[in-house]
Amino acid sequence: MKILVCISNVPDTTSKINFTGDNKSFDKNGVQFVINPWDEYALTRAIELKEAKGGTVTVLNVGEADAEPNIRKALAIGADDAIRVNADPKDAFFVAQQIAAIAKQNNYDMILMGKESIDYNGSQVHNMVGEMLGIPSIVPASKLDLIDDSTARLEREIEGGKEVVEVKLPFVASAQQPMSEPRIPNMRGIMTARTKPLQVVEPVAGETKADYVSFSKPEKKGGVKMIDAENAGELITLLRNEAKVL
């Protein structure tokens, strides 16, 4: 079984976020990058399936050279090899085109990724990849098991309950909790990751569907007003006239 896991290189949630002078692009200076946390659920489940059923796990990233440390981390966690498409991940459609092109070349049985990336939160790529390849797309999945060599059972959370889906391979699925428990690479994994194959390929001709006009930070929170516990009238007035929640 051949499993492809797509990972994004995203800013750590503890990083201080800034934008360029014209507010049209993200400023990477001083920012620590990590594997997209949602993608780690997909990666860990893929490795668990490989350990139980055999096969290989390939990690794919559409990104520039600065993503390679986190690609190596994915290899240290347990992936067998990696591919980096040497391109700026401009938008979801462009990224999906690159993933679909790699998938067509290698005939994977399963394509997994996180339900969204924590930087843009678009939640679009998985469905686009499924459509481009003409295969089912199950999103987002909280559980994934193999029934046999040709069929998988996935569980999705839906309004008011859960939905269980059986699907023939190949398919695309996006992962969310509690599909797996993300792993921390051990020393042996870190050492072996250095020699695992990491292939860098140029992107296929693609197009973008979206341009970012501008970015802005949330407005700073205002000061806190302390109201005496016995002065309920003033509190009601402030909630009505200033906060406008009454």
Domain segments of the chain as ranges: 2-218
Confidence of residue 238 (pLDDT cuts 50, 70, 90): confident
pTM: 0.86
For the four alpha carbons of 92, 98, 103 and 104, in that order, the dihedral sign comes to: positive
Distance of CA 230 to the CA centre of its chain: 50
% pLDDT > 90, the chain: 71
pLDDT score for 189: 94
pLDDT in tens, 125-154: 999 999 999 999 999 999 999 999 999 999
Whether residue 221 is predicted with pLDDT greater than 80 in this model: the reply is no
Architecture, CATH, for domain 2-218:
3-Layer(aba) Sandwich (3.40)
Contact 134, 26 (CB under 8 A): no
pLDDT of residue 223: 75
Residue 14's pLDDT band (cuts 50, 70, 90): confident
Q: Is-contact 122 96, C-beta < 8 A? A: no
Rounded Cα gap, residues 7 and 19, in angstroms: 23
pLDDT tier at 188 (50, 70, 90 boundaries)? very high
For 19-40, how does the pLDDT look when each residue is reduced to its tens digit (9 = 90+)?
887 888 888 888 999 999 999 9
Q: How confident is the model at residue 156 (pLDDT cuts 50, 70, 90)?
A: very high
